[in-house]
A and B are shown apart, each in its own frame.
Chain A
């Protein structure tokens, strides 16, 4: 621990958020700015017969109306990841037009944009755009999408598959091991579709400066540089150096704001056409229809065990929905971010996952908090608990039996999985032991027996997860189909007075970078936190960046900043040595000054920085200035892990689940700010509880959404969850300078199966072995009475 590292320092950014002084895209008003509204399809699948904008054009305040006929962004929005068919056939990649042409492929797809002086005028005129549709049958379920004769999402291919894929050991070998296993546990279920529901809806302003020939795009994104790259190089073919993307405060993303959306490209195109700025902010109804969703896997799985309860083989087949078009990272989510975690924390010797990923008449499915890892964890942690029940074992005992033994990644090598990855470091027994201790597991089991005798339905559920974070090594992701590198950029600019500006290509949308990054930079430089400012979200200020997701900001972005800090100190030492008339190797740096070892001769950081910019008396041959930028591309992902435990009571009359306690013992590597890590875990857990008990996007058979508002889509609220009890073990990441692993997704990954395991445990004596998520009172009650 330093002065700041490891301390629960309050978030600097909160003052402005709490005072309503944040600068979100929708807060920005530019001179001469116009407003826009979209005309969206009320059908999931339809032919566009006719679009008539005549009446709309005559409405008050209308500036312009565009449809696909106007030739906007003819290349469409590209996908950023390519996963080819198992037989080598190229991934089917439909063009994703900015406005639908001829055909509608999902509910809410935009057919026209109306630009007007005010938002009210834009909405009024949008209502007057007449569109004749010829509705067609739709398919929204990923398994049904692969039925022969299923309605086709894209007519150019014979079926709906975008690709199929597999990972792990040879299928025949896995099947043989299952056939001879002592016990086989099976599961079939749907990991339901979720809507991301960031509090701030997506919002964009595009502003074309006619004189400079430059665009400025204000956007609520997690990923400003990638947006600029995709927008310029792929969608609009406009010069990248003439586009500035600004993303100031962003009110949550959970993945949904990683992607490049059609609306932001279209607005950029429109602003040049009309020569004025144009704004669009999604409303909540549009968000349900158009923000990329998460999950939606139909799963069929078998896990084989020997007589001692050791896993011998695991085989899973999945249908994973992609939606109507391929969103930026969509193909990676059910494949490389999912199948690569099928080892879990267990020594399973044989694993095979087969994925079929079809197009569906729905909005795109892409990464949502955890992206593929929650789906993998849900499967592993449910099936192993189910197996324990079937084999009359305790769910903790079966886990201890199967854990990969501890390894630190330094003295012991990393753990090579059957599914491509090599884990960095882990101690899975320790987190489970601590989790059980936090609950008082033995005591609880007694309490549960007592409760059962009194007719109460009390249950406990355990989940011991692992996940992959710090999404990076460019060479690795490149070999897996990524079309972008996944390094990060961090720059440290020391001002002449010794104040420090830090530039990062990551992007905070709630994580607290302005605080955490300042903590470790201040510590490493031995200066005050107040002297460090963190800048992000401006492509003109930061050389490049890959944004924030997959808990990569600290592990990858932080490491890039550390590299620049080291360069500053290295050059600073040269200047200090000159000033102190000493040899560099005789200096030591601590508490913001260079001291000649064993003497009281020293020079401060501020003196050195001033000298760097006023280099009158200066080392020969050394460049002035103290300003460094670094790229950091790590050697591996990081692998946080942990144990989550849920305690529930089920109302026997209604099936309503009451979550009584939730305990999380996580290992996220070294911790920079424990308060922020706790917050990330707690928020994640609540989101995971939401999936377990409440949330579900429901489409009916014609592709209408039955859950398109908060009247029908149940978000977890404060009174749905108990206080989340957290603790940690610390197993540092061996391969990055801060030893950090990442904490952004852990909560959402570990919690969901813990809750479902607890409910099934509470009902096990009634013969209940599984319940489809979300575990609504109705589903639980029906399971009890099946």
Chain B
């Protein structure tokens, strides 16, 4: 559990971080909470030669209300999100999801930006990001852009983010009613299945994580939704690339997805 040798630079502004990232190219990695990156470095699965720590960039550490949106800086920790009054009031489902992550140590270090950039298929946030149709704000050498939730997650551990880009914030539309329901993997306590559901007018929007290589919107359920939970049986319609391991094979995981979509609809 000893990482290979690396250099460490603490960036004091976003501009500096972007410049450093360009300078060092492939050799460099952004360090945020370090709770995904450092473990993989200790196992020598990742061997960056430079770490650019963005943790000290204070402009990425705020939670603000901007009209109909709550804007969360990428550096906000899970704990901040779980306990923020603004989030609890306007995007309560996100604080529910944050509270399901790891333990108190993990929540005190790990960040929303880091989690989304890492794109672990068993991570919790993607379900909520999808259900809420949040937008990811990224900045790179070509300037700033926003990426819609549906376009962001592309494959296992792969996102729409360019190598030279940093997530600066995530914009969540305010949500009146939402619920996050998670079936914990017994060893890692990541999500075997995580279902986020929000009310939108008469309809629902549902995001599902843990089940497939890429988190997805349960559109078949959304379309069939009739105000009851009966549409839950469609949770896996059209879903492929289902994850299978010794905790949950495809059959069981698919079953759990239907159960948890049902529970989410019932809890709404």
Which A residues fall within an 8 A CB radius of B?
A: 119-120, 123-124, 127, 283-285, 653-654, 656, 694, 696, 698, 706-707, 710-715, 776-778, 781-782
Contact = CB atoms under 8 A, between A and B. Distances in A.
A710 B5 contact: no
Contact of A285 (B43, B245, B249): B43
Contact of A654 (B2, B5, B43, B256): B256
Given A654-B183, A777-B186, 9 more contacts: A119-B2, A124-B4, A124-B5, A653-B259, A707-B187, A712-B245, A778-B247, A781-B252, A781-B255
A707 B246 contact: yes
Closest 4 CB pairs of A and B: A714-B187, A714-B186, A711-B188, A283-B1
A706 B187 CA distance: 12
B247 A711 contact: no
A712 B2 contact: no
Nearest to A715: B187
Contacts of A710: 187-188
Interface in B218-268: 245-249, 252, 255-256, 259, 263
Contacts, number: 51
Contacts of A706: 245-246
A778 B252 contact: yes
Contacts of B255: 781
A713 B247 contact: no
A127 B44 contact: yes
Interface SS majority for chain A: loop
Contacts of A782: 252
A778 B248 contact: yes
Given A712-B187, A781-B255, A284 B246 contact: no
Contacts of B259: 653-654
A715 B190 CA distance: 14
Contacts of A698: 246
A778 B4 contact: no
B247 A123 contact: no
Contacts of A123: 2
A712 B246 contact: yes
9 contacts: A127-B4, A127-B44, A284-B1, A653-B263, A654-B183, A706-B245, A711-B187, A711-B190, A777-B183
Contacts of B248: 778
Nearest to B258: A653
A718 B252 CA distance: 26
Interface in B151-197: 183, 186-188, 190
A776 B5 contact: no
B125 to A, nearest CB: 18
A120 B188 contact: no
A284 B43 CA distance: 11
B106 to A, nearest CB: 13
A120 B252 contact: no
Contacts of B263: 653
Interface residues of B, number: 21
B251 to A, nearest CB: 8
B199 to A, nearest CB: 23
A776 B4 contact: no
Contacts of B187: 694, 707, 710-715
B7 to A, nearest CB: 14
A138 to B, nearest CB: 18
A776 B186 contact: yes
B232 to A, nearest CB: 11
A144 to B, nearest CB: 18
Contacts of B249: 778
| Residue in A123, A694, A713, A777 with the greatest tally of chain B CB atoms within 10 Å | A777
A199 to B, nearest CB: 15
Nearest to A785: B255
Question: Which of B2, B186, B246, B252: most chain A CB closer than 10 A?
Answer: B186
Contacts of A656: 183
Interface in B1-30: 1-2, 4-5
Contacts of A707: 187, 246
Contacts of A694: 186-187
Contacts of B183: 654, 656, 777
Contacts of B190: 711
Contacts of A285: 1, 43
A707 B185 CA distance: 13
Nearest to A37: B2
Contacts of B252: 777-778, 781-782
Contacts of A715: 187
A641 B246 CA distance: 35
Contacts of A284: 1
A776 B247 CA distance: 7
Contacts of A283: 1
Given A712-B187, A781-B252, A120 B2 contact: yes
A511 to B, nearest CB: 28
A120 B186 CA distance: 33
A665 B252 CA distance: 37
A234 to B, nearest CB: 32
A703 to B, nearest CB: 15
Nearest to B184: A656
Nearest to B183: A654
A706 B50 CA distance: 31
Nearest to A711: B188
Nearest to B4: A124
B25 to A, nearest CB: 23
B245 to A, nearest CB: 8
A608 to B, nearest CB: 55
Nearest to B189: A717
A80 to B, nearest CB: 31
A707 B187 CA distance: 10
Contacts of A127: 4, 44
A694 B189 CA distance: 12
A29 B256 CA distance: 51
Interface in B130-150: none
A786 to B, nearest CB: 12
A656 to B, nearest CB: 8
B43 A120 contact: no
Which of A694, A712, A782 has the most B CB atoms < 10 Å from its CB?
Answer: A712
A569 to B, nearest CB: 52
Contacts of A653: 259, 263
A712 B247 CA distance: 8
Nearest to B259: A653
A283 B39 CA distance: 13
A285 B45 CA distance: 13
A710 B1 CA distance: 14
Nearest to B47: A127
A325 B77 CA distance: 48
A652 to B, nearest CB: 10
Contacts of B5: 120, 124
A712 B245 CA distance: 9
A434 B246 CA distance: 39
B241 to A, nearest CB: 19
B109 to A, nearest CB: 17
Interface in B35-71: 43-44
Contacts of A654: 183, 256, 259
Nearest to A707: B246
A690 to B, nearest CB: 10
A776 B256 CA distance: 13
A715 B188 CA distance: 10
Nearest to A698: B246
Contacts of B247: 776, 778
A283 B248 CA distance: 28
A241 B204 CA distance: 78
Contacts of A711: 187-188, 190
A471 B134 CA distance: 64
A746 B248 CA distance: 32
A34 to B, nearest CB: 15
B83 to A, nearest CB: 21
B256 to A, nearest CB: 6
A483 to B, nearest CB: 36
B110 to A, nearest CB: 15
